[in-house]
Structure 1
């Protein structure tokens, strides 16, 4: 069967939507699609559910524009998981189709479609949304949305205490005028609040690291530590402990402190600095991460009281 998602290429919102349409046609009984909100430039923010089970997990990518390879990875996962379900393959001696009768994985591949478009084509234009006539020099390193707000500093977890020396729109690190001021972050926040997700994975790049702790304690800290160690073994990535006073504002910071369930920020690829991860790393990234969703789904089934 011809593969739909071709990972080793530039991947923007238009290409992703084309692939989503084809995946939904091929796997209509396995995948479900919805739009959870709209970006500044009114691109739909897509979410795809794999499976039909009551236990829910969320995974998402491309909060940061230059980190669009996380979208490719997640789209590749969607296709592979659907194929595994259809062909009744097994994971750790468990039938995958039966696993996804009990668990659903919601995947939001591209939280920041406008930013990805700008990084790849410069057709999306931050100049229209903020006053900065030198913005194009930051195109390769761009993390923010097209209003110059870093979406992963937008969530209401210690937002007031984030270091905000920038205090204006920029290619990276500006937290915005208020929590959830940006439609992309608000869309993901609202979608998450409307569900009862057991675990969350936020894909970023780069560094081959997993952030998992933030300010957790007690039973949540214990459960998160168990899962983090298992994910570290699965991916080969190092676990990162936060500083004494972590800055907050990230999706997983908020999920841990408000939803009070384990959440993991997974940084794919060797560290490459402030730019997109080169496609030459993709095969390696895939091998390290392809089982993450299956592992969490099986863990949710095996630990019903976790």
Structure 2
């Protein structure tokens, strides 16, 4: 990946596709690519696999359109782990070759490619510009947009407390509209089906911003204890604070569903200092990378433990 992200040259879906093909070409024995579905506008939803082990981790990014920097982070992780696995190198103390022989890390780097495209390029880059302008109250600035191209918030689409999500918009728009029913949107449905198919031991959904980790949603007992210990390890690496959502958390999120359906640990790291309803400034990225570069490996190590000691 030779792409230098700047405010003028953000990380686009097209660049991600080119990077995926480059990694597949350069590391055919170490890097696997699968298309798990399509977005509303027909863009492929990519899943990338690094590793051959039985323990399985899933990392995803860009459920929310303006949070496209998470896609770049996950792509850089995939590249770094693939290179280290191929060359038998360590990353921050992790023996990558040994770890990825015991665990497999899957990445879905851009869950919401249509929304990312809208945020970066505007309404005219979409198939139905009049519709997205209407959803945005005819404002031409889409930098704060979180939803998919139909105005549905994909991280309010999962069947975990969907009926009582709050706050929730009443109609399609930039954020918070949960859709007519759970999994109404092809992007969320594809991630849901892929997760059910593989039954991952641990998952993480990257979001921004706030430098926080959500790790708890209506769980107790052994799962609560294990999740808390792993969350503390992530916090030690990133310096992000752990968030307790309280006794009556709002649901609908990917990790909410994973925790309650898969009954396995799931985490939502919020990268960068809090910056409000806009994309994370790219000048924050070097620090974000240093904080997160080994989180996929840390989760692979924890997943390997769970496989050994279920």
Q: Which residue of the partner structure matches residue 251 of structure 2?
A: 248
Structure 2 counterpart of 1:102: 102
Q: Is the 8 A contact 1:126 1:147 kept in 2?
A: no
Give the Cα separation in 2 of the matches to 1:141 and 1:100: 37
Mean alpha-carbon deviation: is it higher for 225-234 or for 89-98?
Answer: 89-98
TM-score scaled by length of structure 1: 0.95
TM-score (norm 2): 0.94
Residues 26-75 of structure 1 deviation map (CA, whole Å, 9 limit, x = unaligned):
11110100111000001000010011111110000000000000000000
Matched, 1:42 2:45: no
The CA distance in 2 between the partners of 1:75 and 1:224, in whole Å, is 25
Distance 1:23 1:4 in 2: 11
Deviation, 1:87, is 1.2
Offset, 1:244: 2.3
TM-superposed CA distance for 1:259, in Å, is 0.5
Structure 1 segment 183-198 matched on structure 2, within 5 A: 183-198=186-201
1:305 to 288, 305, 309: 309
After superposition, where does 1:119-134 map in structure 2 within 5 Å?
Answer: 119-122=119-122, 123-124=125-126, 125=128, 127-128=130-131, 131-132=134-135, 134=137
Aligned CA distance change for structure 1 residues 232 and 164 (closer, same or farther; 3 Å): closer
Identify the residue that residue 75 of structure 1 maps to in structure 2.
75
Query: CA–CA distance in 2 between the matches of 1:150 and 1:185?
Result: 10
1:233 matched to which residue of 2? 236
The aligned residue for residue 202 of structure 1 is 205
C-alpha distance in structure 2 between counterparts of 1:176 and 1:183, whole Å = 12
Cross-structure match for 2:33: 33
Is 1:127–1:133's contact at 8 Å kept on the other side of the alignment?
no
Does residue 113 of structure 1 match 2:116? no
Query: Does residue 54 of the first structure (1) align with residue 54 of the second (2)?
Result: yes
Q: By how many angstroms is 1:300 displaced?
A: 2.5
Partner in structure 1 of residue 274 of structure 2:
271
SS in structure 2 of the partner of residue 246 of structure 1: coil
- The match for 1:141 is 144
Query: Distance in 2 between the 1:135 and 1:231 partners?
Result: 41
How many residues were matched structurally? Answer: 304
Structure 2 CA distance for aligned equivalents of residues 39 and 268 of structure 1:
25
- CA distance in 2 between counterparts of 1:289 and 1:92 reads 11
Distance of 1:227 and 1:158 partners within structure 2: 24
Structure 1 residue 299: deviation in Å? Answer: 2.3
State the alpha-carbon separation in 2 of the partners of residues 238 and 296 from structure 1.
17
**Distance across 2 between alignment mates of 1:135 and 1:272:** 24
User: 2-side partners of 1:266 and 1:94: how far apart?
Assistant: 21
